[in-house]
Chain A
Amino acid sequence: MDLLFEKSVMDRRSELLPPLDVPETALPEQLARKTAPLLPELSEGDLSRHYSALEKRAYGVNSGFYPLGSCTMKYNPAVNEKCAKLPGFCEIHPLQPESSVQGCLAALALAEEYLTEITGMDRMTFQPAAGAQGEFTGLMLIKKYHEARGDHRRKKIIIPDSAHGTNPATVSMCGMEVVNIPSDEDGCINIERLKAAVSADTAGMMLTNPNTLGIFEKDILSITEIVHEAGGLVYYDGANLNAVMGVVRPGDMGFDIIHLNLHKTFSTPHGGGGPGCGAVGCKNFLEPYLPYPVVTKTDNGFRLDYDRPDSIGRVKGYYGNFLVVVKALAYLMTLGKEGIPLSAKTAVLNANYFMHLLKKRYTVATTGVCMHEFVISMEREKKERGVTATEIAKALIDRNIHPPTVYFPLIVKEALMVEPVETESKETLDEAARVFAEIYDAAMEDPGAVHACPQTTPIGRPDEVAAARNPVLRYRREDNDGA
């Protein structure tokens, strides 16, 4: 399909502004831009059709089953969107007088109150814009904590080899070093290896619980204790909180810091890759180091406290992705005390039920129960019949199912990471299991058959190697003139 630029017709435009109503002031010539930017010239109708066509070439949670592991693709409630569109939230300038933004500050304070209660933390900041920035903020809290105590030796962060790639990348951004520890077969921490890894230079540890194989770390209390005894802090990567929200609190497991992905666990949409919110919670002893400003209660309302001499500083402009917090708050209010744990438990039930159905053919990387997700390995099928995780993924696309996460975690070969989430019905899971089974049988019988998938999509498999070798990252008119 054509690009906006290819549909552009010179001098086509819509009138969106009234004529200038003050005397015109001309920009001095020497300051003026020489070449006009190439922007498309289209009617509003052209635009409407263009984006409707693009929408048909996309797939959202509204389009069908989306069991993308580690991404918690739950239903995004309509009421959340409605609340975030209220003029009293979206027409507010971030630097308005405090007395005129009491509703915004109250919303932030309320979201903090609910989420610290659910996570077992004492304070929370919503400034980080995404999970990765939440991690960055969390690790800076660890860095600052040691620095403030004059403990400059502590530079090492322990990370299990099953961790998401952001964990080690974040450690580097904080000028610290990664100590990788190999996981056990079920992705769990090996206590002996952990004991051997901690030392006087341990700054902390980053951990997801349940882990990336969907298993709850049964030794979690020992793990956090070992790190604490060595003088380090323990950071909870909130990617997998959906399994345990309202059931068990990371704060009670011994974690000092947590980041949440409000766009996963708390139902705010992913937007095709953002905006999200990577809220960071911490225990009281780390509160002085939180990014400023901090929302503080006063006798007659709330204020923004900028006087934070020990703060790590500001990690982003203003107060974070505020409207995302509004959406999460609407969700928290809706589910409440009973709904939050019930959602977690249903997610775990759905995952175990779906795993049970798939196990009839597929090999699951772990034994026993899983939490909210599980990992399939196609290693044997690849060896025996050349059927890879990619083949299954691409075949699912033709059956209107979004593929699971592929090739992650790295510790499982030919991984398919499946997270069915609580907002899927039994009928959806039964039907999806039938499709997974059919694809499996067809692929094992005739591996060539799935190789041509997908066929129902606007494009077939793209040449990613060519894309990287000879990058075309934008449209250029001169490249396309006369083409």
Chain B
Amino acid sequence: MAHYLPSTDVQRAEMLGAIGRGSIDELYAAVPQLLLQESGPNIPAGLSELEVTRKMSRLAEKNTVFRASFRGAGAYRHYRPAIVDAVTSKETFVTAYTPYQAELSQGILQSIFEYQTMIAELMGLDSSNASVYDGATATAEAAAMCRDRKRGVTLISETAHPEVIETVKTYCWAANNEVRVIPAKDGLTDLDELRKNMSEDVSGVYLMQPNYFGLIEDCEAAAEIIHEGGAKCIMGVNPIAAAILRSPGECGADIAVGEGQPLGMPLSFGGPYLGFMAATGAMTRKLPGRIVGQTTDDTGRRAFVLTLQAREQHIRREKAGSNICSNQALCAMTAAVYLAAMGPRGLKEVAAQCFSKAHYLARELEACGFKRRHDAEFFHEFLTECPVDTAKLEEHLARHGILAGAFTHGGILWCATEMNTKEEIDRLITLIKEVA
């Protein structure tokens, strides 16, 4: 058995002697003795490091790592600069706790402050928090930010990611708040339906940019309708697309949230990812979770601290708007290093390549009978009809190391990023023709 206990038996005996006890078991005298697990839990005996490595590698090898992927649907394969892992593997960043002791934690606090700045910039809004769990929970938290005594209904567009809609519904069910889904028209949020649903009890409206089908929504028009109805506009944003699309700030959003995974996080079977949240100045004090602020120390030097803590659960207890404590700090640092490594031009280049490659892929697919279902402009994903047997298609592509688009809404949701070479796309088309 391996373990990480430095004490030797002799030292344990010395320590027991010092506290005047004969055995460690005496320390558990308050535990009802019939409940004690005399022979330990019923799990296998401990293993050496080599055995653990072998076992875990064997588990990992049971999964398929596809050479090429055209599947996104909320989780995206992007190039992760080598510096990202180099920085975020630094032991002190990995093993530190939440930066409560500011004097000992300036490195982590400053990195979060830099992250907050980059997120606020990317969203074109005033402020950002230090992160929440993921894009879906960020949306649920944003919905809660908008509610007050008079307005408790959340509207969410049908074109949002299904898992986001489901998560918001769960949070709202818990808090006894109503959620209404605004139907889609031609793959976009139906703005007439939105207008019809605006009532005096609507607190916030969520739509996603680009939406689940990859389409670019008219968020500016939506924000206008939402504000006319006296509610807040929450935009769910793909952070890569934000490099080139009109920003939430430019569209008039009050809150921007999203899934930060594309900013340097590996796919990791769904997590850990990163929920980001940005807000206008008017909404800043309603942001949940940790926020880092700049101040000075006792000699006037610049210092960073966790701030606006009066919002939070450890102060407000049952009156807090959220119970969130720490969340995804190392993922926020990942995003910050990614954004800094890419810089403004690099990030724009990633977005532009995604756009061009997805459009090339769409044209090539269209030419072999995979018609796009919607006409609206798209970013790096689009839904097509599938003229062939889907199971056969998926299998044939998988045999050649390619992960097909996601099968959803009776079609295929294809995604292309800067990772997909022209050669890969052409090969995909060749393979598809073999199935057809």
16 A-B residue pairings within 8 Å (CB atoms):
A4-B336, A37-B124, A54-B106, A59-B92, A62-B95, A94-B74, A95-B71, A169-B313, A317-B137, A318-B271, A319-B270, A330-B52, A333-B51, A334-B49, A460-B103, A471-B293
Q: State which of B43, B73, B318 has its C-beta within 8 Å of the C-beta of A172.
A: B318
Instruction: Flag B303-333 by CB within 8 Å of A: 1 or 0 each.
Output: 1110111101111111110111111111101
Which 10 pairs across A and B sit closest by C-beta, in order of nearness? Answer: A318-B270, A88-B60, A336-B46, A103-B62, A271-B330, A94-B270, A313-B170, A275-B272, A273-B326, A60-B95
Distance in angstroms from B200 CB to nearest chain A CB is 22
Question: A363 — which chain B residues lie within 8 A by C-beta?
Answer: none
Known: A57-B110, A468-B307. A275 touches B271 (CB 8 A): yes
Q: Which of A51, A172, A270 contacts B326 (CB 8 A)?
A: A270
- A99 to B, closest residue via Cβ: B64
Nearest B residue (CB) for A53:
B107
Per-position 1/0 for A1-44, Cβ under 8 A of B? 10111000000111011001111110110011111111111101
The residue among A93, A270, A408 with the most chain B CB atoms within 10 A of its own CB is A93
Instruction: State whether B91 touches A60 (Cβ < 8 A).
Output: yes
Are A397 and B104 interface neighbours, CB within 8 A? Answer: yes
In the bound complex, do residue B81 and residue A16 qualify as a contact, i.e. CB atoms below 8 Å apart?
Answer: yes
Q: Please give, as numbers and ranges, the residues of chain A lying within 8 Å of B352 by CB-CB distance.
A: 20, 24, 27
Q: Tell me whether B270 and A169 are in contact (CB under 8 A).
A: no
**A272-B96, A459-B102, A467-B293 are contacts. A317–B56 as well, Cβ < 8 Å?**
no
Question: With an 8 A cutoff between CB atoms, is A135 at the interface?
Answer: yes
Contact of A32 among B29, B128, B245 (CB under 8 A): B245
Residue contact A16 to B134, C-beta cutoff 8 Å? no
A63 at the interface (CB under 8 A from B): yes
B360 to A403, Cβ gap below 8 A?
no
Residues in A with CB closer than 8 Å to B5 are 342-343, 346, 422-423
13 additional contacts, CB 8 Å, given A91-B65, A102-B63, A342-B3? A14-B81, A39-B342, A83-B53, A87-B65, A93-B403, A165-B312, A269-B94, A273-B97, A335-B3, A337-B43, A340-B41, A422-B5, A474-B128
A338 touches B40 (CB 8 A): yes
Q: Which residues of B contact A462 (CB under 8 A)?
A: 102-103, 295-298, 303-305
Give Cα A169–Cα B353 distance, bound, in whole angstroms.
44
A75 at the interface (CB under 8 A from B): yes
Q: Does B190 contact A (CB under 8 A)?
A: no
CA distance A76 to B91 in the complex (A): 10
User: Which residue of A76, A270, A272, A320 has the most chain B CB atoms within 10 A of its CB atom?
Assistant: A272
Q: A435 contacts which chain B residues (CB < 8 A)?
A: none
Cβ of A84 to closest chain B Cβ, rounded Å? 8
Residue from A48, A172, A340, A472 with most neighbouring chain B CB atoms (10 Å): A172
Q: Which residues of B contact A35 (CB under 8 A)?
A: 124, 247, 250
The verdict on A133 contacting B356 (CB below 8 Å), with A37-B243, A459-B106 known, is no
Q: Are B43 and A96 in contact (CB under 8 A)?
A: no
B4 touches A74 (CB 8 A): yes
Contacts of B131 in A (CB 8 A): 274
The residues of A that contact B99 with a CB separation of less than 8 Å are: 58, 272-273
Q: Chain A: which residue is nearest B364 at the CB level?
A: A22
Looking at the complex, which of A192-200, A347-355, A376-384, A442-450 is the stretch in contact with chain B?
A347-355
Check A271 against B63 for contact (C-beta < 8 Å): no
Question: Quick check: B107 and A93 within 8 Å, CB to CB?
Answer: no
Q: Which of the residues A118, A338, A424, A425 comes within 8 Å of B46, measured between beta carbons?
A: A338
CB distance from A429 to the nearest CB of B (A): 8
Across the two chains, which residue of chain B brings its CB closest to A62? B91
**B269 and A322 contact, CB distance less than 8 A:** yes
Per-residue A-contact encoding for B339-362, CB less than 8 Å = 1, 0 else: 111111111111011011101100
Contact status A353-B15, CB under 8 Å: yes
- Of the candidates A54, A82, A459, A472, the one having the most CB atoms from chain B within 10 angstroms of its own CB is A459
If A35-B250, A271-B93 touch, does A172 touch B320 (CB 8 Å cutoff)?
A: yes
CA distance A313 to B169 in the complex (A): 8
Identify the interface centre among B65, B216, B304, B377: most chain A CB within 10 Å of its CB: B65
The distance from the CB of B48 to the nearest CB of chain A, in whole angstroms, is 8
Q: Is the CB of B111 within 8 A of A54?
A: yes
Q: Is the CB of A275 within 8 A of B331?
A: yes
- Residue B329 contacts which of A220, A221, A274 (CB distance < 8 angstroms)? A274
Question: With the chains together, A481 CA to B77 CA distance in Å?
Answer: 38
Q: How far is the CA of A336 from the CA of B39 in the complex (A)?
A: 12
| Contact of B92 with A63 in the complex, beta carbons under 8 Å | yes
Given contacts A369-B29, A394-B103, A402-B101, whether A314 and B170 have CB atoms under 8 Å apart is yes
Are B268 and A140 within 8 A (Cβ)? no
- Name the residue among A22, A52, A350 with the largest chain B CB count within 10 angstroms: A22
Contact partners of B11 in chain A: CB under 8 A: 425-426
Point out the residues of chain B lying under 8 angstroms from A22, CB to CB. Answer: 356-357, 360, 422, 425
Q: When chains A and B are docked, how far (Å) is the Cα of A104 from the Cα of B86?
A: 25
- A442 to B6 CA separation, bound complex (whole angstroms): 31
Q: Are B96 and A58 in contact (CB under 8 A)?
A: yes
Task: Give A455 Cβ to nearest chain B Cβ, in Å.
Answer: 10
From the candidates A13, A249, A317, A337, name the one contacting B35 in the complex (CB within 8 A).
A249
Chain A residues lying within 8 Å of B56, measured Cβ to Cβ, are 83, 86, 107, 326, 329-330, 333
CA distance A274 to B6 in the complex (A): 27
- Which of A226-234, A240-248, A280-288 lies at the interface with chain B? A240-248
B105 contacts the other chain (CB 8 A): yes
Check if A312 is an interface residue, CB within 8 A of chain B.
yes
Instruction: Give the residues in chain B near A135, CB-CB below 8 Å.
Output: 323
